[in-house]
Amino acid sequence: MRAALPAAAVLFDNDGVLVDSKAAGEAAWHTWAVRHRLDTRLVLAGVHGRRSRETVARFLPADEVDPATAEIDALELETADQTVAIKGASEFVASIPGHLRAVVTSASRDLALARLAAAGIPLPDALVAAEDVAMGKPAPDPYQRAAELLGASPAECVVLEDSDNGIRSARAAGVGAVLGIGDSTVMLGCDAVVPDLTRVRWTGDGIAPATGREVGPGARPRR
């Protein structure tokens, strides 16, 4: 594996990469599922890395999607203050110049900003949220849009992701490399995998292992 991942720009997923919102988000979705008399296990299994509207549309008739999406978005906003930072995220983000980084999320803009603020992560100059693209992850649109906002080609960018949908989106966009965050990304086709953002550093022209630490291989059998 390469010792470093060259990058003209860095594109961050938010939930699971920069912030830990899992408990708060799942509590909101559980409440929503109970209200709609849905199997909570099935609902929770399908929310990660996907826009709320697309999850809602899997379970409810088309004429109920708009109000039900507004409902879950409000529930998630109510719990946003419970969000905490992924280890090392604030320091790592702050080390990268603002014009070289973007956050790319399946959440709404309001929810993404609320979670970042609650976790103490520097707010991005460039943010691609659910409402900014016609098609969300795993379609390539979000990461293509983020690269465009930063004036870079996708091939010049490194993406940091933690979900299958997000990794598929990054690959479909043609990014230069994908760095998986957390054990859940092993075997999902990442170029490298780390447990959190204390394990990497910004070099000025890419992402490299932090001093004295190694970036684990991504184990890329999936094609």
CB 202 within 8 A of CB 92: yes
Active site residue 164: no
From the candidates 15, 73, 141, 162, which is the catalytic residue? 15
Among the listed residues 13, 73, 141, 191, the single catalytic one is: 13
pLDDT by position in tens, the chain (length 223): 356 899 999 999 999 999 999 888 888 999 999 999 999 999 998 777 788 998 999 999 999 999 999 999 999 999 999 999 999 999 999 999 999 999 999 999 999 999 999 999 999 999 999 999 999 999 999 999 999 999 999 999 999 999 999 999 999 999 999 999 999 899 999 999 999 999 999 999 999 998 755 445 554 445 4
pTM beyond 0.75: yes
Residue 15 falls in the annotated catalytic set: yes
Read off the tokens for 167: 């990794």
